[in-house]
């Protein structure tokens, strides 16, 4: 298992997993103000049609190298 990393190193295309570990999509956009260290959340691109869903920072349990894990 990877060590947690800062939201500031997160990149578009990282895997997004639900609390059970199932991949639900990819990071499409990171929202925040890096200069003020304010993290607002991410936009996840889901499925083949690319439906996008906003996930607020409060719903993110962990940020690991290459993936984001959501809270239950």
Residue 29 forms beta bridges with which residues?
A: 43
Name the token pair of 6.
């800062």
pTM of the model: 0.90
Instruction: Check residue 48 and give its pLDDT.
Output: 74
Domain ranges, ordered by start, for the chain: 7-70
CATH number at 7-70: 2.30.30.240
- Using an 8 Å Cβ cutoff, are 18 and 70 in contact? yes
| pLDDT digits 0-9 by tens, 13-70 | 999 999 999 999 999 999 999 999 999 999 999 977 779 999 999 999 999 999 999 9
Q: How far apart are the first and last CA of the chain?
A: 19
* Cα dihedral 16/18/53/41 (nearest 10): -70
Instruction: Check residue 1 and give its pLDDT.
Output: 65
Report DSSP state, residue 4: B
Instruction: Check residue 5 and give its pLDDT.
Output: 96
Instruction: Check residue 43 and give its pLDDT.
Output: 97
């Amino acid at each position: 298992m990877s060590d947690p990393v800062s939201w500031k190193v997160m990149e578009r295309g990282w895997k997004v997993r639900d609390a059970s570990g199932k991949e639900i999509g990819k990071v499409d956009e990171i929202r925040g103000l890096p200069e003020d260290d304010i993290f607002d959340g991410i936009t996840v691109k889901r499925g083949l049609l690319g439906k996008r869903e906003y996930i607020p920072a409060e719903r993110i349990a962990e940020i690991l190298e290459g993936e984001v894990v959501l809270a239950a």
